[in-house]
Amino acid sequence: MKMVIAIVQNEDANLLVEALMENHFSVTKLATTGGFLRVGNTTLLIGVEDDQVEKVIDLVRQVAKCREQIITTTTPSAYGSDMFSTYPIKVQVGGATIFVVDVERFEKI
């Protein structure tokens, strides 16, 4: 048995949970926070048999799409140490980070 841990953007989480459940995969949804943009994301825990791992990863690929987002960043200004300039930059967000780990023991009580 394997545990698939998929970290996705909040925008993709509900659609992905629906797709997993439609395909008869049990999923646990955890609200988490990302480090890079410090925005909310969702971590999904999906326990599956070894031969189902690729099916789960395919569903994640179909739903969790990469897209561009504009964020505002600040940098110190050349006019003084207490002044900062802000400017928008495009970053790629979305997609998923996936971990697949062995499950030594599973019990449903």
Question: Where exactly are the structural domains of the chain?
Answer: 2-102
pTM of the model: 0.76
Using CA atoms, how far apart are residues 79 and 85, in angstroms rounded to an integer? 10
Specify whether domain 2-102 bears CATH 3.30.70.120: yes
What mean pLDDT do residues 55-81 have? 79
What is the CA 51 to chain-centroid distance, rounded? 23
More confident residue, 22 or 73: 22
Using CA atoms, how far apart are residues 21 and 28, in angstroms rounded to an integer? 11
